[in-house]
Amino acid sequence: MEKMSRKFDRHVQIERLEKRHWALEQQILELDRQRFLSTTEALALQALKRRKLATKDELASLVAMSRAAE
């Protein structure tokens, strides 16, 4: 029973990370559409890209753990 609970928890975490990754992508695209970025916007864009990459890494790790547990 606990194994199913952990599998469900991982699935929920994966879904949450996928949604976060998509939201970050949308924010990045919004800034990328602008012709010119202020210094603040350029720094925000860099931070968003770092967060997106960190989210992608975390997601890949969870997916790998999930596959290994099957």
What is the per-residue pLDDT for 44? 97
For residue range 11-45, list pLDDT tens digits in order: 899 999 999 999 999 999 999 999 999 999 999 99
Compute the distance between CA of residue 39 and CA of residue 65 in angstroms, rounded to an integer.
39
Average pLDDT, the chain: 91
Number of structural domains the chain divides into: 1
pLDDT of residue 9: 87
Residues 6+ apart with CB under 8 A from 10: 62, 65, 66, 69
Q: How much of the chain, in percent, has pLDDT values that exceed 70?
A: 91
Which domain, by its residues, includes 62?
Answer: 2-69
Q: What is the pLDDT of residue 3?
A: 62
Mean pLDDT of the 59-67 span? 90
CA torsion sign for 19, 21, 23, 25 is negative
Structure tokens belonging to residue 13: 């975490």
